Amino acid sequence: MKQTKINIDDLSVGMSCTKPILNKKKEVLLPEFHSIHPIYLAEWSGETLFTEGELQEKEQKLSLELPSYIDKETRILLQRYYDDVKVLKVLFKNLRQINFNAIQNLTSFWSSYALRNENMSPLLAVCRHALFEEDEYFYIHTMDVLLISLGIHVHYYKSVRSLELIQLATGALFFDIGMLLLPEELKGSAGTLYEEQKLEIQKHTLLGYSFMTKSEMPTIYAIPSLEHHERPDGSGYPRGLKGDSLHPNSIIISLADVFTSQIRARSFKEGREPAEILKDFIQTMMPVFPKSYSLYIAAFVSFMTIYPTTSIVKLNTGDIAIVLQTNAENPTKPTVLLLLDQDMNKYTTNIEIDLSEDSHTIIGTYTRAMLIELESSL
């Protein structure tokens, strides 16, 4: 396809391109479908730009639909998240011609974020607030699992290395690829399934692993696609493996998969809050995990925490606040910012309270359905 020259004056913040934007040395300045940020325009000043694709106007989803109380960092990460969902939709459209440069760009960004930041709560905030259409669920769920897996990994290993993060991120990116290889009538199946359908869908683990190995990807990238439905008590599939037989990346990705499949509302079910999921997890799932899993579970619970960043909570004083920072040593005592007083009047000054050093306590949280009504006051 013929390259066309881009006039930098025709570019604006938020635009994207259907093919990579290149310089005159044919180096990729911006991968396909990634949004242009202000810093990029400054860097490209004086450059001669080319592309084989078409420029697209910016999407308005992020600025129009995010609640006003969402912080700047979460907004920036959400925009990248939406960009990467678009990349995945193109990437997985033709599985015979996987764009490994796009894979590397995507996994490197999120792995680098996890490497640079000890606080992984913004990744959970991104997953909680991302909006999507029903037909985007596969790609959204893939991104959710990738981000949550990185968060669990950082909490588990404490001291992390870039290679391990990239291996985990790439494994998470392809962990459910077998679902795209199922017969059309089974793709996106939801709600009540017949036993025969369940057995057919379970084959996606074998299909995914076969696809990954035939694509000549390193085995460590392929293993989670095979093992993410195995369970430590041997009740999972496809091989009924137990405990220490599973690869660490498979364990982490399976935990992220179970969690993220519950936080999102679908056409056939409501989404759940992290506190609800954690409560059920501790009561029903933890008893079946062997002692060798204890550190994984501790990392999972530590990362999820009871009150994640951007949670809206009610205090014993009647005030409504947003969680600014979690407290690993005392999860019930995060740092919060007051939003509304007991009469639902908006605070005009920023008042932060470290609940671990204050008499205030949290007496309840707002679900996403309740937040819709609360938004008019915020």
pLDDT at residue 70 in the model: 76
What CATH code would you report for 61-304?
A: 1.10.3210.10
Cα dihedral 335→338→339→340 (10° resolution): 140
pLDDT at residue 68 in the model: 67
pLDDT in tens, 120-150: 888 988 988 888 888 899 999 999 999 999 9
Q: How far apart are CA 155 and CA 201, in angstroms?
A: 32
Report the percentage of the chain scoring pLDDT > 90. Answer: 34
pLDDT, mean of residues 342-348: 88
DSSP string, 255-313: HHHHHHHHHS-BTTB----HHHHHHHIIIIIGGGS-GGGHHHHHHHHHHH-SS-TT-EE
**Average per-residue pLDDT for the chain:** 85
- Give the model's confidence band at 64: pLDDT under 50 very low, under 70 low, under 90 confident, else very high: very low
pLDDT reading at 273 higher than 60: yes
Element (H, E) at 234: none
- Give the model's confidence band at 378: pLDDT under 50 very low, under 70 low, under 90 confident, else very high: low
pLDDT reading at 79 higher than 80: yes
Secondary-structure breakdown of the chain: helix, strand, coil percentages, each rounded to the nearest 5: 50, 10, 40
pLDDT reading at 185 higher than 80: no
pLDDT at residue 62 in the model: 44
Taking the model in full, what pTM does it have?
Answer: 0.78
pLDDT at residue 219 in the model: 94
pLDDT at residue 372 in the model: 55
pLDDT, mean of residues 366-375: 62
pLDDT at residue 63 in the model: 41
pLDDT, mean of residues 175-203: 82
User: Which range scores top for mean pLDDT: 121-125, 202-206, 264-268, 321-325?
Assistant: 202-206
pLDDT at residue 60 in the model: 45
pLDDT reading at 89 higher than 80: yes
367 or 206, which is more confident? 206
* Contact predicate 109/162, CB 8 Å: no
Least confident of 100-114, 131-145, 321-335: 321-335
- Phi first, then psi, for residue 256 (nearest 5°) are -65, -40
Domain with CATH 1.10.3210.10 in the chain: 61-304
Report the percentage of the chain scoring pLDDT > 70. Answer: 90
Least confident of 117-121, 159-163, 250-254, 371-375: 371-375
pLDDT at residue 373 in the model: 61
CA atoms within 13 A on the CB side of 93: 8
pLDDT at residue 377 in the model: 57
Q: How far apart are CA 283 and CA 305, in angstroms?
A: 15
